[in-house]
Every structure is written in structure tokens, then in C-alpha cells.
Chains A and B, each alone.
Chain A
Amino acid sequence: MVSLNAYLMLGAVLFSIGAVGVLAHRNALIIYMCIELMLNAVNLTIVAFSRFLNSLDGHVYVFMIMTVAAAEAAVGLAILIALFRNKPTVDVDEINLSKG
């Protein structure tokens, strides 16, 4: 039987990889993907806790997180398309109109 700590550590590592990607990349699409990876790492943590506490509530939370992630991806990518129509770039350094 794999211990709870192993799952939690894997979740922490995946979350950190996603965070590095968000900070290091300038391509908005890849930043979205890294955010999805971070959400997935959190999901793994919740499912692991749910299994080891023998409670199904965690599965419902993961279900909700998936719903929000799907909504976020759809709206985020739509925003990206709208931005791309005004300025043909996905580089977040060049999308700085509201910087003041």
C-alpha cells in the first residue's frame, strides 16, 4: 500500500512544476496549461486525502474543481482569441494595455 505522504509529495512536486511554468513562460497559452497542471496537482492531493480518510466528499470537490477548470479554460481561451484579434501576439509581455 502506497502511503499518503507519497501522493502528497507528488502533488507538491507537480504544483511546483506548474508554478515554475507560470513564472518562466511568456506564452499565454502555455501559462494556461501550467495553471491546469497546478489544478491537477491539487486534485491529486484532494483525492489522496479522500481515499485515506475514507470519505467521498473529496470526490465531489474534485468534480467541482473540474467544472471550474473547464469554465476557466473556455473563457480564458476566448479572451485570448479576442486579444489576438486586436493584436496578433500571445506574448504576455506585449499585452500590457492596462498597465497605466
Chain B
Amino acid sequence: MTRPQAPSVVQNSGQVLPAGHEPANLGDILERVLDRGIVIAGDIRVSLLDIELLTLKLRLVIASVDTARQIGIDWWEHDPWLSSRARPPVEPGPRDPEQVEAERRPRVAAKARRRDAELEEWNEFDG
């Protein structure tokens, strides 16, 4: 089979840009390998429902891990649901629970504010 010519990105200006970026966009690959392709019942049954939940969570995370890290989003690294390597933040030893709670509160509030801001921005386009 002859190798088809290089693909291109076509923009409205009529400008044609070379494409076929390597490596391909992770989102494009994931939607194909997770949702499409022939389903052959293997011996190892991993519930596809679990994978769907994963893609939903992924979509909440961000385009790619690297992009997310670059803009400082890394909370999934401490989310056991998303990372089997997740570890709780290192604590030097037993601490006064009240002090821990007092330190935690502003962080949680900041995180919630960030999330709300993101959701608002998200809804603006998708709503």
C-alpha cells in the first residue's frame, strides 16, 4: 500500500499548514483506543464502564498531564482514584489536629475558589 501524502491542517484563511504532529494529541489517541476499535472478548475482563468513568474523570482533569503541570494543576497526583502511585502529603510526625485543620482550611477554600472559577469559564463556552 502506498503511503498517503502528509496530512494537513486547513484553516479558514485557506492557509494549509503541515500537520501530522508527532507525537499525536493524547486526547485524539485516547478517544480512539478507548471508545473505538473492535471489541473482542479477551480472557481478562476489565469493565469498560470503569474506563468510561476514567475518561469522564480525565476530561475533568485537563488535556495532558504535562500541560496541567505547567499551569500548576497537580491535585490528581494525590487522588488515589486517579493515580495508584498517589501518596498522602508527607507529614513529619503526629501533629495537633486543630493546627492541621487551621492550616488546611485556607488551602481548601483556595482550591474551591479555583475550581469555581474554572467551572464558570468552562460553562461560558459549553453552557
* A and B are interacting partners: no
